[in-house]
A and B are shown apart, each in its own frame.
Chain A
Amino acid sequence: GAGVSQTPSNKVTEKGKYVELRCDPISGHTALYWYRQSLGQGPEFLIYFQGTGAADDSGLPNDRFFAVRPEGSVSTLKIQRTERGDSAVYLCASSDGPPGERNNEQFFGPGTRLTVL
């Protein structure tokens, strides 16, 4: 079946602009995660959705970052007033169970490479 998909694959924007990044999880997966990966680093957790609600947004770096998942499937990560330091690969992952399940194996999408000039 289809895996996690993300669009766009690449996004170049100017400092101060607004961007939206989209994630389409594996069909039927209730849990959705956003991570950010900087060059040479491991992914860093941003936010987790269980269904439509953001169950944990403790990883969002500041209030310029926001994410939604209105129908419990597709999610959009929104970044306001982008800064050069926001440049990174934004990864989305989904899982078929919440973190409390014994196996929380997450399946990752191809990522969106964001470049802020």
Chain B
Amino acid sequence: ELKVEQNPLFLSMQEGKNYTIYCNYSTTSDRLYWYRQDPGKSLESLFVLLSNGAVKQEGRLMASLDTKARLSTLHITAAVHDLSATYFCAVDLFYSGGGADGLTFGKGTHLIIQP
């Protein structure tokens, strides 16, 4: 059974600081997605990582994937209040030949950025 673990689950940080969210998963996969969710809203796609060593950047957010370590990171640079949200990583097992056809999500990292 695929397990996806994120840490930390809760993070409060100040504007201007840097921080990294970690996503570990238990079964081989080379497809990983990051989503953002604002309170009471649906999920917004942030990054699609499709190979070992993939790195994507958008504004103050940068995501990477290490399939050998089964680890993805979401790095926040010089955080601003607007980045406050819950961030989910999700793993796709289908291409690896196993598991359900849907995505398996972590529990999410609830990020609060204080002025």
Which A residues are closer than 8 A to B by beta carbons?
33, 35, 40-48, 55-56, 58-59, 91, 93, 99-100, 102-111
Which B residues are closer than 8 A to A by beta carbons?
4, 31, 33, 35, 41-45, 48, 50, 88, 90, 92, 94-95, 100-108
Least distance between A93 CB and chain B CB atoms (Å): 8
B101 close to A56 (CB less than 8 A): yes
Total contacts A-B at CB 8 Å: 73
A55 vs B101: C-alpha distance when bound (angstroms): 8
Across the interface, name the chain A residue whose C-beta is closest to B110.
Answer: A40
Provide the main secondary structure of the chain A interface.
loop
- On whether A100 and B94 interact (CB within 8 A), knowing A42-B106, A105-B48, A106-B103, the answer reads yes
A56 close to B43 (CB less than 8 A): no
A contact residues around B33 at 8 Å (CB): 105-106
